[in-house]
Amino acid sequence: MPIKRVISKGRVPVKIYTEDVAENAMKQLENVSQLPFIHSHVAAMPDVHWGMGATIGSVIPTLGAIIPAAVGVDIGCGMNALRLSLRADQLPDSLARVRSAIEAAVPVGFDGHAEDAWCAEGLKRVAPGLKPILDKHPKIHARWQSQLGSLGGGNHFIELCLDEAQQVWIMLHSGSRGIGNRIGMHFIELAKREMEHWKIRLPDQNLAYLPEGSKHFDDYVEAVGWAQDYALENRRQMMRLIIEALRDRLPPFETTTEAINCHHNYVAREHHFGKDVYLTRKGAIRAGEGELGIIPGSMGAKSYIVRGLGNPMSFCSCSHGAGRRMSRGEATRRFTRKDLEAQTQGVECRKDKGVIDEIPAAYKDIDAVMADQTDLVEVVHTLKQVLTVKG
């Protein structure tokens, strides 16, 4: 579907790919559109909803500045999906032991691996880039070694899914863990200090930015780039651990070449509408022409493997998921464990009060989200989860 709404109250327009936008998200989009360094326009994806400073589901092109809170604190958060040679009829009738095996292999929540140096190969790839960052910003330090190859909590997950041909897929969602959070929070605060120093007034203090050439700009670009690489490696290591765990619980299988690993919280240097910009995708994935991506639904809904159409008005982007319809607090107040059990019927997953905030009804309808972005992507595979691991 084409652009559904346009906000014209700011310095540049905001082009929105849905009618389903909450009032608080609309206000945030207006705030971003007022900033003096936004190029061309702001795009809002069909899963758009309120976030810190900038809306989740927004794509923001900037000239000569980056907004750290728009990139967010789960820097490099994204998805990884891999198709296996197994079919649905080769899975056991009960997937409880399979879920237990995955949970034993991949730390969830705040947990990490028992030893910091558990994965020498992965650490070797990411460790060298962190030292110069920590030398300049020692406050950033966090448990990054032991958390490499771990899931985290909240909306992060590991799933086994079946596609339209009843083929089995592994799909996971995670990011840069504690170290990414520290990097994000650290530079958000530094950006706020920059605004105070220069007495710059903003419509929202969380839109504090780092101008190119300022004291901390280059340090942030270096740190955010490292966190994005760490997030990619984190997902790569989790996928390896999951495959190893499944080999002990499922019939022999091969992994296929159809694999996707993509960010949806990040900033990248790209060319759009005649300018080289810093493009921030806050809860959006790149959907360049022919590029594969992943759009997950909630615990009880469908997910999609998509191919980008390279739509220039969305800055070659699409949604990163269904998008929340209500806050975690509201979901916990509104729903019960029985509601969770009913809405995740047929899925092997946690069904306790600790994950009620992730109940499917707390999210937008993924089919409606997909219907709103037919101009942005085409569906390659439709996946339905049969097992979900949550932190």
CATH number of the domain where residue 51 is located: 3.90.1860.10
Would you say residue 340 lies in a domain?
Answer: no
Residue range 21-30, pLDDT digits in tens? 999 999 999 9
Residue 355 lies in a domain: no
Residue 352 lies in a domain: no
Q: Is residue 115 part of a domain?
A: yes
pLDDT at 1: 59
Determine the distance from the C-alpha atom of residue 10 to the mean position of all C-alpha atoms in its chain, rounded to a whole number.
Answer: 27
Q: Note whether 264 and 206 are within 8 A (CB).
A: no
**Residue 257 clears pLDDT 80, i.e. is over it:** no
The reply to whether 298 sits in an annotated binding site is yes
Q: 297: annotated binding-site residue?
A: yes
Q: What sign does the dihedral 351-390-377-32 (CA atoms) show?
A: positive
Tell me the catalytic residues.
320
Count of structural domains, the chain? 1
24 is in an annotated binding site: no
Q: What residues contact residue 3 under an 8 Å CB cut-off, 6+ apart?
A: 15, 16, 17, 313
Query: Which residue range forms the structural domain that includes residue 273?
Result: 5-325+363-390
Has residue 95 been placed in a domain?
A: yes
Asked whether 17 and 372 are in contact (CB, 8 A), the reply is: yes
Q: What is the pTM of this model?
A: 0.96
Residues 6 or more apart whose CB falls under 8 angstroms from that of 41 comprise 12, 13, 14, 15, 33, 61, 313
CA distance 333 to 113: 34
Place of tokens 């899975």: 91
**135 marked ligand binding residue:** no
116 is in an annotated binding site: no
pLDDT digits (tens, 9 = 90+) for 151-206: 999 999 999 999 999 999 999 999 999 999 999 999 999 999 999 999 999 999 99
Q: What's the pLDDT score for residue 328?
A: 94
Give residue 391's pLDDT band: very low, low, confident or very high (50, 70, 90): confident
CA torsion sign for 137, 142, 146, 151 is: negative
49 is in an annotated binding site: no
Known binding residue 74? Answer is: yes
